[in-house]
Structure 1
Amino acid sequence: MKPLPYGSGLLGPLDQNVTALRRRVQRLLTAALIATNVIGALVVVGLAALLMPAPGMSGELVRVTAIAVPVYVVSAVVVGTLWGTGGALRTLRWAAEGRRPTDAERTASLRVPLRLTVVQAVLWGVATLVFGGLAALVQPSVVLTELLVVAFAAVVVCAIAYLFGEFALRPYAALALAGTTPPRPVTGGVNLRMLLFWCLGTGVPVAGLVVTAVLAWVRGDVSTTKLAVSVIALGLVVLCFGLLVTVFTARAVVNPITSVQDALGRVRAGDFAVEIPVYDGTELGLLQAGFNGMAAGLAERERLRDLFGRHVGHEVAVEAMRTATELGGTVRTVSVLFVDLVGSTALAA
C-alpha cells in the first residue's frame, strides 16, 4: 500500500492542483467550524442542565437558552467562515498564484491554525458575555455557573479548532516549507505543543472540576447527589475531550515520523530519489527536511559511484570509496615485460 503523503486520504494526493486543494481545504475548515461550534453548544446545554444549583434553570432561562444557542451557533459559523476561513485563504493566496512565498508569507501561512483558534476564542469569548448577560437578566443566581460552563465549552472548541486546522492545512504547510530547511522550529517546538495540549486537554478540564467543588463548598446548599452528578458530568466530558485531544496530538506527532519511516524503507530498497513533503513547523518538520537532505546526498553519492565505476571498473571504484584518501605513495618492486609482435604496425593499420 502506497503511503499517504500527508498522513490522511482526506488531504488528497501530493500532485493535486491548487484549485482542487483550495476547495478541499475550504470544505474541511468549514466542516470543522460547524462541527466544533455544534460540539461547543452541546457541551453548554449538557453542562448547564447538570451543573446549575438547585432548583436548576428556570423555565424562562431554558426558553431563552433554547433560542439563543442555535442563533449564536449559526452566527458564529457565518462570522467564522467569513473572518476565519476567508482570512486564512487570503493568507494562502501565494499558493493560488503558483509562486513561492516570501519569508513573511511563509511565517503567516504556518500560523494560520493559530489564527483560526484566535477567531474561535473571540467568538466564544463573546458567547461567554452574551450567555452570562442573559443569565444575569433572567436568573441571576446561576450567572457564575453559566460563565463557567460557556468558558469550559470555549476551551473545548478552541482546542479542537487548532488541532483540526493544523491537520487540514498540512498541504499548504508543505508548499510553504518546500525547498527550505529552517534552522529552528517555525511554529514552536514539540515541547510547547505538548504542554499546550496538556493544558487544553487535561489542565483546564480538571481545573473545572476543582472550581465546581469550590463553588459547591462556598454555597453550602448543594446536596451530595447534585455534587455527585456535577462531578460525574464533568468527569465524562474530561475523559471524552481528553481522549479526543490525545488522539489528535498522537496523529500530529506520529504522522511525520511515519512518513520518514516509510521513506527510509524505500531508501533501504535502493530508491534514492525519494522525497517526502515537509508539513510540520516543529522539530518533526526539521526531521523530515533533514531526511530529504540525507536522501539527496545518498543519491548524489550513488550517481558519482556509478560514473566512477564506468570509467575505472566497479571493483576499483568500490575499493577507492572504501579506503581513505592519502597523499604520498609507496615503494614497490615490480617487473615489466615488453612484447613486440612482428608486423604489428601493418596489422594494426
Structure 2
Amino acid sequence: MSSKKSMAQRIGRVLERITRQSGRLPETPAYGSLLLGRVSESQRRRRIRIQIILTVLVLGANFIGIGVTLLLVAVAIPEPSVFDDAPAWLTFAVVPAYVAIALALGTYWITRQTVLALRWAIEERKPSGIDERNTFLAPWRIAIADLILWGLGAVVSTILYGLVNTQFIPRFLVCVSFCGVLVATGSYLLAEFALRPVAAQALEAGPPPRRLSAGIMGRTMMVWFLGSGVPVIGIALLAMFQILMRNLTETQFAVGVLIISFATLIFGCLLMWILAWLTATPVRVVRAALRRVEQGNLRGDLVVFDGTELGELQRGFNAMVNGLRERERVRDLFGRHVGREVALAAERERPKLGGEERHVAVVFIDIVGSTQLVTTQPPTQVVEVLNRFFAIVVEEVDRHCGLVNKFEGDASLAIFGAPNRLDSPEDAALAAARCIAKRLAGEMCELDAGIGVAAGQVVAGNVGAKERFEYTVIGEPVNEAARLCELAKSRPGKLLATAGALEGASEDECARWSLGDTVTLRGHERPTRLAQPVEVARSDR
C-alpha cells in the first residue's frame, strides 16, 4: 500500500513539473496594464504607443482643467460676468485663441522634449547615467511645461480682465492657477504611467537618483495637498473675497462654494484614483508573481518599472526568485550525485555520521566484458554506451521507488527500502531487476550485464568523515548481490536472485520466479539457493 502511495506521489510530482513547464499559469501584464504593450514589442511600436498614450492622457487632463476653469470663473462667481461685463473680443477671441495656441504649443513641446529625453531607447542603446536621469526627469518636465503654460494663461487673463474690472483679478488669478496646479499634478502622474516601459529599461542600469524619485509618501502627500489642501484654500479665499468685497448675494456665494466643492471632488477623486492605481499595479504584479512561485513556477523575472519603493520591492522579488532558482539548481545537482531521496532527507534534517539497521533489498548490476568494450571502442563511444546503460538502470530503479546508491565504473548498486521505507522492498527490487534485464535485452543488444538481487538486514547511513561523507548501506545482502551478479554473467538470462529475497516477496512476484540449484558463493560459508525468472528457467530446460 505504501509502495503504491509512494508511486502516486511520484507521478503527481511529474505531472506538476509538466504543468509548470507548460506555462499555463495565470499571467499579468509586464507593466501592469495591457495598454503599455509587451516586453518583446519593438522599440518603434513602443515609441508610437507611448507618444499616443502620453498625448491623449495629457490633453485629456488639460481639457478637464479647462472645463473646470470655465465653470469656476463663469458660474461659481457670476458677478461681474465674463460675458456681460467684459468685452466680447476678450472672452470669445483672445481667451480661446490662447487656449488653442497653448494646447498646440504644449503638445509639440512635450512630445519633442520627451523624444529627445528618450532617444537612447528609440536608438536601442544601453542607457547611461545621464539617460536614466533624463528618463525620470521627463514626467517632471511635462508637469513644469503645464505649469508654465497655465501660469502664463493665469497672468494674461488676470491682466486683461483686470484692466476691464479689478474685481476680475482675484477670480482669474486664483481659479486659473488652482486648476493649472491640479492639471500639472495629473499630467505628472499620467506621464509616469505612460513612460513605464522606458523607465523599466532605464532601471536596468540601476535604481533612479533619490532626488528624482518622490517615493510613495511624497506622491501621497503631494496628491493630498493638491487634490484636497489647495481646493480648501480656494474655498477659504472665496469666503475672504466675499467678506472684503461684498459683491455676491448669499445664494451666489453658496453656489460658488458648491461648484468649488464639486470641482474639488472631481479633481481630488481623479488624482487619488490615479495615485492608487499607480501604487496598486506594481503590488498586483508582485502578488501574481508570488502566486506563480507558490505553484512552483520559477521561470522569468519581473519587469522593474517603478522608481519608488515599489520598484525596490520588484527588484527584491527578482533577487528572491534568483536565490530560489539557485537553490533548485543546487538541489537538483545534489540529487543527481547522491540520489533525490538522500538529498530530500538531508534537507529535512541535518545529516550526521552513523547509521541504523534497515531491512532492504539490493540490486547489483555489472556489464559483461567491460575490459573488451574499453579497449576496442573510442572513449567517446564508451561513454555514450555507458550513459545509455545507466539511463535504463536509473529509470527503472526510480520507477520502482528505489535509490541508485552509487556507480562504480561500469557497475551500479541500487537499494530498495532505504532511505525511504517500503512495505515490500523485495517486490520492488525483483520487479526492477526483471525490467532492467528485459530492457537491456531489447534496447542494447550489443551489451550484456549481470544482475544480482538479495535482501536482508543492513546498516544504512552516512559513512566517512565530518568533512566528507556519503550515504551507503553495509551488510551481507550487498556482498551477496555482488557475488550473484558475477555468477549471473555466465548464466542464461544474466539475472539471479536469492531464495531469501523471494521469501519476503508477494505471491504475485514469486510466481514470476523459479527456484533453482544451490551454490556456495565466494566468501560465504553457507550455501545459497538461486532463483531466476520463470521464462529463463523454462528455456534453460
Q: Considering the TM-score relative to the shorter chain, is it more than 0.5? A: yes
The Cα of 1:186 is off from its aligned counterpart by 5.6
Query: Is 2:295 the partner of 1:279?
Result: no
CA distance in 2, matches of 1:160, 1:50: 24
Query: Is 2:52 the partner of 1:27?
Result: yes
Q: State whether residues 54 and 191 of structure 2, in contact with CA within 8 Å, keep that contact through their aligned partners in structure 1.
A: yes
Q: State whether residues 189 and 282 of structure 1, in contact with CA within 8 Å, keep that contact through their aligned partners in structure 2.
A: yes
1:36 to 48, 61, 85: 61
Query: Is 2:167 the partner of 1:169?
Result: no
CA distance in 2, matches of 1:59, 1:250: 43
Listed as ranges, the matches of 1:239-278 within 5 Å are 239-278=265-304
| Distance change in 2, residues 1:325/1:114 (3 Å) | farther
Report the AA paired with residue 233 of structure 1: I
Greater helix fraction, Structure 1 or Structure 2: 1
Greater strand fraction, Structure 1 or Structure 2: 2
CA distance in 2, matches of 1:226, 1:239: 20
- Tell me the equivalent position of 2:114: 88
Q: Which runs of 5+ in 1 are unaligned?
A: none
The Cα of 1:50 is off from its aligned counterpart by 2.2
| Distance change in 2, residues 1:147/1:341 (3 Å) | closer
The Cα of 1:170 is off from its aligned counterpart by 0.8
- Tell me the equivalent position of 1:135: 161
Q: State whether residues 94 and 101 of structure 1, in contact with CA within 8 Å, keep that contact through their aligned partners in structure 2.
A: yes
- Tell me the equivalent position of 1:17: 42
Secondary structure of the residue aligned to 1:140 is: coil
Listed as ranges, the matches of 1:64-103 within 5 Å are 64-103=90-129
Report the AA paired with residue 312 of structure 1: V
| Distance change in 2, residues 1:116/1:38 (3 Å) | same
Q: Comparing both chains, which one has the higher relative contact order based on Cα–Cα distances under 8 Å and sequence gaps of 6 or more?
A: 1
CA distance in 1, matches of 2:343, 2:310: 37
Q: State whether residues 72 and 127 of structure 1, in contact with CA within 8 Å, keep that contact through their aligned partners in structure 2.
A: yes
Q: State whether residues 133 and 208 of structure 2, in contact with CA within 8 Å, keep that contact through their aligned partners in structure 1.
A: no
Q: State whether residues 139 and 191 of structure 2, in contact with CA within 8 Å, keep that contact through their aligned partners in structure 1.
A: yes
CA distance in 1, matches of 2:27, 2:301: 14
- Tell me the equivalent position of 1:8: 33
1:217 to 243, 249, 270: 243
CA distance in 1, matches of 2:248, 2:241: 9
The Cα of 1:325 is off from its aligned counterpart by 7.3
Q: State whether residues 38 and 73 of structure 1, in contact with CA within 8 Å, keep that contact through their aligned partners in structure 2.
A: no
TM superposition score normalised by structure 1: 0.90
- Tell me the equivalent position of 2:340: 314
The Cα of 1:114 is off from its aligned counterpart by 1.0
Query: Is 2:253 the partner of 1:227?
Result: yes
Q: Which runs of 5+ in 2 are unaligned?
A: 1-25, 353-464, 491-541
Report the AA paired with residue 176 of structure 1: A
The Cα of 1:53 is off from its aligned counterpart by 5.8
2:225 to 199, 210, 214: 199
CA distance in 1, matches of 2:92, 2:35: 34
CA distance in 1, matches of 2:158, 2:208: 45
| Distance change in 2, residues 1:184/1:139 (3 Å) | closer
TM superposition score normalised by structure 2: 0.60
Listed as ranges, the matches of 1:122-161 within 5 Å are 122-161=148-187
CA distance in 1, matches of 2:334, 2:63: 65
The Cα of 1:178 is off from its aligned counterpart by 2.6
Query: Is 2:152 the partner of 1:110?
Result: no
Query: Is 2:262 the partner of 1:236?
Result: yes
**What do residues 248-297 of structure 1 show as CA deviations (whole Å, max 9, x unaligned)?**
01101100000000001111111101311111110011001110111111
The Cα of 1:12 is off from its aligned counterpart by 1.3
CA distance in 2, matches of 1:255, 1:341: 67
Q: State whether residues 121 and 198 of structure 2, in contact with CA within 8 Å, keep that contact through their aligned partners in structure 1.
A: yes
Q: Which moved more, 1:100-109 or 1:235-244?
A: 100-109
Q: Which moved more, 1:2-11 or 1:162-171?
A: 2-11
The Cα of 1:22 is off from its aligned counterpart by 0.5
Q: Which moved more, 1:100-109 or 1:121-130?
A: 100-109
Q: State whether residues 88 and 112 of structure 1, in contact with CA within 8 Å, keep that contact through their aligned partners in structure 2.
A: yes
Report the AA paired with residue 290 of structure 1: G
Secondary structure of the residue aligned to 1:248 is: helix
Secondary structure of the residue aligned to 2:305 is: coil
CA distance in 1, matches of 2:483, 2:179: 99
Q: Which moved more, 1:57-66 or 1:133-142?
A: 57-66
Q: Which moved more, 1:181-190 or 1:31-40?
A: 181-190
Aligned residues: 345
1:48 to 48, 52, 73: 73
| Distance change in 2, residues 1:12/1:224 (3 Å) | same
